[in-house]
Amino acid sequence: RFTPGQVTVITTDDHNATWHGFTRFKDAEKGSRVSGMSELKKYFQRFGYLSIPDNQNCSFTDVFDAQFESAVVLYQKKFGLPVTGKLDSDTLSEIMSPRCGVSDTGPKVRATKH
Amino acid sequence: FAYFYGSPRWERGSSMTLTYAFSPWNMIDYISLPEIRGVFRRSFSKWASVIPVNFTEIEDYGSANIKIGFFRGDHGDGEPFDGVLGVLAHAFSPENGRFHLDEAETWAVDIGKVKSKVAVDLESVATHEIGHILGLAHSSVKEAVMYPSLRPRSRKADLKLDDVQGIQALYGSNPNFRYSSLLESENSSNKA
């Protein structure tokens, strides 16, 4: 326990922070195949941008396909980012940012434009 | 601003009081409980100042409308936490009331006093998750408290116009609320 008023010094390196590994997808675009991209697709599925694949074992591939491109476009619109359809540095920086676990979009969320 | 499907909200009639309590089992100990209570009292009061809803802390966790706790990894609600940064917290839409924070984060009440590069401002996250508890989903407005992401060592704890418009459309306005005060604070923070 710390006594109030005492400066708390904790130094934790953020290189092993969750999602830090997504940096390797920088500038990936439709048609490319990058090892591990299925993990990024799970991230998009978790926050409502991609539906679970309806293939036999419901698993994502490492291919940047058209479905994933439209998920990236949806994400860029939701976050007010330039809509490029690519994993540019602004988009990746936002993806790797710490965030709330509630889904952004999808069947449970009804967006209201004001 | 955005809502959850069906725009769920708490239904208590005109003068609504919601109770909240902290888990007796799942808390952090490197920030004192009085300090944590102070953070949440401030966060709840930001929302209470714009809508006709009051929030009262109670001791009995089991009977509270809003149940707050710090959990690590898989904690039984199908949304496991993921360690340092990544997902910081989540909360459920009305009238569920569950409010979970990731115990693995380096939570801070005063960011200036913590040296960690991955320190997360507790008041900013608390204010955001209370928005979910009340029925707001994520907003696309970067300045809004209900924008989904929060950079480490950053603070975003004051409600913006988008947050206020969204929540007042659900609950109506607090009779003492003045837009002018909100616009003044927004202008000054924009200038800064």
Integer distance in angstroms from the first to the last C-alpha of chain A? 47
Of A12, A108, A112, the CB nearest to B1: A112
The confidence score (pLDDT) of residue A110 equals 57
In the predicted model, what is the mean pLDDT of residues B29-51? Answer: 97
Residue B187 confidence class, pLDDT cut points 50, 70, 90: confident
The confidence score (pLDDT) of residue A9 equals 45
The confidence score (pLDDT) of residue B14 equals 59
DSSP B123-174: HHHHHHHHHHHHTB---S-TTSTTSSB--TT----S--HHHHHHHHHHH---
pLDDT at A12 over 50: no
Two tokens at B114? 């913590």
In the predicted model, what is the mean pLDDT of residues B106-121? Answer: 95
What is the three-class DSSP state of A111? strand
pLDDT at A1 over 90: no
Judged by a CB distance cut-off of 8 A, whether residue B145 touches chain A is: no
Integer distance in angstroms from the first to the last C-alpha of chain B? 24
Mean pLDDT, chain A, integer: 83
The confidence score (pLDDT) of residue A3 equals 47
Cα–Cα distance, A109 to A102 (Å, whole number): 10
* Tens digit of each residue's pLDDT (9 = 90 or more) over A64-112: 999 999 999 999 999 999 999 999 999 999 999 999 999 998 666 655 5
* Tens digit of each residue's pLDDT (9 = 90 or more) over B152-177: 999 999 999 999 999 999 999 999 99
CA distance B85 to chain A (A): 5
Buried/exposed code over B48-61 (b: 16+ C-beta within 10 A; e: otherwise):
bebbbbebeeeeeb
Residue A91 to residues A41, B3, B133, Cα–Cα distance (Å):
14, 24, 28
Across the interface, whether the CB atoms of A110 and B3 are under 8 A apart is answered yes
- B154 Cβ contact partners less than 8 Å away, ≥ 6 residues apart: B121, B124
Phi, psi of B39, deg, nearest 5: -60, -50
Q: Residues of A near B (CB-CB distance < 8 A)?
A: 1-2, 4, 7-14, 16-20, 47, 77-80, 94, 97-102, 104-105, 107-112, 114
DSSP B42: H
pLDDT at A6 over 70: no
Across the interface, whether the CB atoms of B89 and A10 are under 8 A apart is answered no
Cβ neighbour number for residue A15 with a 10 Å cutoff? 9
Which one, of B39, B47, B45, B46, lies nearest residue B68 by Cα? B39
Q: What is the CA radius of gyration of chain A?
A: 17
CA distance B24 to chain A (A): 17
Q: Do the Cβ atoms of B118 and B84 come closer than 8 Å?
A: yes
pLDDT at B129 over 50: yes
ipTM of the complex: 0.91
What is the three-class DSSP state of B108? strand
* Tens digit of each residue's pLDDT (9 = 90 or more) over A15-65: 557 798 899 999 888 999 999 999 999 999 999 999 988 776 778 999 999
Residue A11 confidence class, pLDDT cut points 50, 70, 90: very low
Of B4, B90, B115, the CB nearest to A110: B4
CA distance B149 to chain A (A): 4
In the predicted model, what is the mean pLDDT of residues B50-55? Answer: 96
* Tens digit of each residue's pLDDT (9 = 90 or more) over B62-112: 999 999 999 999 999 999 999 999 999 999 999 999 999 999 999 999 999
pLDDT at A113 over 70: no
The confidence score (pLDDT) of residue A2 equals 40
The confidence score (pLDDT) of residue A109 equals 63
